[in-house]
Amino acid sequence: TRMAGLTLYHAAPSRSSSVRWMLEELGEPYGIELLALKEGEHLTAAYKAINPMAKVPALRHGDVVITEAAAICTYLADEFLGARLNMPVGDPRRGPYLKWLFFGPSCIEPAIIDRAMPRKEEPRRGMLGYGDFDTVMEVTAKAVAAGPYLLGDRFTAADVVVGSTIRFGITFEVLPKLPEFMAYIDRLLARPAMQRTLALDEELAGANA
């Protein structure tokens, strides 16, 4: 692991909270560079040099900069093996683990956004990377119901990514409050790292209000 520290480019509340939760799960020291989105701090040339997409989160680890929340969580799980938040290469569960890390941003999140901002006409199922909303919900609900986590008893970065996305969808009332989702969120909320993240972000949101 690179000796230099970890810095999260963060805004609260925002999608970067999932990476903050991941960092809290790791238990490694990290710094926060807070960006006030309302004031356009993410649009400055200085920040675009870090993330040309002008979005949070971005993570600096030594000389490496990683963007995209699921990519950051995957990277951290592989870099800090002591936290046991990844499925190592060679473990048969690495396949499903990677599937869920990609499924969160490429299926669940687009399904949520499309539901929140519907198109004028229904697109053909084959045109959408995620197929259709109901299938995504069904597949996700079945996976979290088998639990307690996506990979059985082992909590991983996949739960951080998928759990954050489900929580986001429920909070903004674009995901159905399926009993499987609500029970899964409760299990995640019971985790001390998640509780710390919510408390820390609430503090930041309050300071920014």
User: pLDDT category, 51, cuts 50, 70, 90?
Assistant: very high
Which one is predicted more confidently, 3 or 190? 190
Which tens digits make up the pLDDT trace of 166-191? 999 999 999 999 999 999 999 999 99
**CA angle, 194 then 107 then 97, to 5°:** 60
Q: Is the entire prediction scored with pTM above 0.75? A: yes
Continuous H helices in the chain: 17-26, 45-50, 69-79, 94-103, 109-116, 133-146, 157-171, 179-189, 192-208
DSSP state of 31: E
Average pLDDT score over residue span 74-80: 97
pLDDT at residue number 66 = 98
Task: Tell me the C-alpha distance between 64 and 122, whole Å.
Answer: 41
DSSP state of 117: S
57: preceding bond cis by omega (within 30 degrees): yes
Which tens digits make up the pLDDT trace of 91-127? 999 999 999 999 999 999 999 999 998 888 877 878 8
Average pLDDT score over residue span 49-60: 96
HEC readout, 14-28: CCCHHHHHHHHHHCC
Task: Tell me the C-alpha distance between 110 and 168, whole Å.
Answer: 12
Q: Check: CB of residue 157 under 8 Å from CB of residue 14.
A: no
Mean pLDDT of the chain: 93
Which tens digits make up the pLDDT trace of 121-171? 877 878 889 999 999 999 999 999 999 999 999 999 999 999 999 999 999
